[in-house]
Chain A
Amino acid sequence: MDVRAMHIANGIVNGPVSAIFAVFAVAALAYCVRRGRADLDERLAPMAGLVAAFIFAVQMLNFQVLPGVSGHLLGGTLAVILVGPWVGALCVSTVLIVQCLLFADGGLTALGLNITNMALLGTAAGYLLVVGLLKVFKNLGATALIASVVSVVVASQGFVLEYALGGTTSLSLSTIAGTMAGVHVLIGIGEGLIAATTVATVARVRPDLVYALRRFRTPAPVEVAA
């Protein structure tokens, strides 16, 4: 069975704009390494490897969202909840780099674009939402669901921005933005269900491995909610 290519291919966004985003991605990832090292202890490091492997696996599972249109998890929100924002962005990037270099998925020229959208924008949006929502709800699953939807839509609009700057075809930007946003709301709901199930499961069996439970909750002496 054919698994389709899932990320931005070469040629859709021109070379100069792709190069600018590649430089941006490298700089941002270097910053993530610096910040992430503070989080990476002997418990988080293997968890981060597992999260990357899990995201790789789940990205292969395209689910139908409309007739003739599918989608797959991007993983930013899931990674933020389990390993934190900095290491989370590095996890998603690891997956994208492996997919690009070994599986010919996502153009090599487009790697910076794909990392910017899915690993950086998607994770950043997921992080802001998770931190905010966990102050309101106690429920990790509901937080994962809502944050995933927003994170996936934000990542999809990252592509729209890149296309606006360096698109190689002259198509209506508002049509592309609308199509991308609409489809990615649906994909985000699918991602959210997967992310919610995953984090709820990990929180039940090994709550000590869930970064969000250790770090994002207000440090008041509250009981652990399910």
Chain B
Amino acid sequence: MDLSFSEQDEAYRQKLRDWIAGNKDLATRTMKGIDDKGDRNPIQAMRDWQRHLYEAGYVGMSWPKAYGGYECSLTEQVIVNEELARAHLPPTINTIGLTIVAPTLIQHGNEDQKKEHLKRILRGDDIWCQGFSEPGAGSDLASLRTAAVVEDDQFVVTGQKVWTSVGPIADRCVLLVRTDKDAPKREGITYLLVDMKSEGITVQPLRNAGGGSHFSEVFFDEVKVPRGNMVGELHGGWAIARSTLDNERSGLSGVVALENNFKKLLELVEAGTRSGKPALEDPQTLNQIAQYWIEIEGLRYLGYRTLSEQLKGQKPGPQASVGKLFSSKLRQAMAKSALEIAGPYAALTKKSPHVLNRGRWVAGFFDSLGYSIGGGTSEIMHNVIAERVLELPRSVED
């Protein structure tokens, strides 16, 4: 076993670090919401940031060159993900476009669709949102009811989607609709690309338990979608959606995010006290943070195992599917500990003059609660491990 990177890879890493160091001002400006023209426009600033990242070669690294990608090696992608996460840079605004829409189009889209959308996704010109979940179709996504009727050369869509991230600012949406009510539920679904400016679409922000509005509800009232915006075959949408939901990742960039959280937790421990003594001398506190350190190490080595398999062109083994379940649990435990270590002031809102770190710990706590729900609940992840890894009989017949 050997965890070292080749000299070539290390040179690539250095080049990236130089780019990051040379673009500190740009990153700070973006965080402040100032765009390339110098105007205060947070959304435009984030689009500009993604375009700069792309032009430097750090977005779309795995994509074919024909569609604007860079065809980088897997190791280079891992290096970029790690370094970007480590440097606390602004995120890419078009995450759904980059991680869900584009892989889908590359795999299943026709040439026109690829030419029309891929480059714009890379440059942050179009921000995409995902219209999959519905009020009545969460874990059981295939029971979705938003309906599309075929009329001449267009679909007419009516229904409601929910948990739509970036809904209010999205330019386009990937939408799952029911096109055959009588077919078995997985065989009557079609995959559409929808312009969010179409007539009949209403977006309503949805506040989450922590008070933020990252999601929205999207209502469709007889929205017309050209037939050319269908991906794949009529009624063939379920398999297409599944193929990108199953996109396994090594999870190594998630490990860097956890390490960043852990560093903040350590700073809290360093500053905190327990029974009149530094928290660092409290055995129970040390025991707890040691456990988190162990679990982050575990996730890192888990990620390396997955990456090794991917580098050899193998299908990722069982460790890939335990990563999400494990990391959401860990994230929540750490966030809860942070509140406890920070003490009673950690429970104050931003409005209080005594608020700690501008309410970061409370926000982190509420944030962490979403990780075991979004992208497949922990209960569903248990089912996935039980059924696909342990090959136990299905718990639900449908």
| Chain A bound to chain B | no
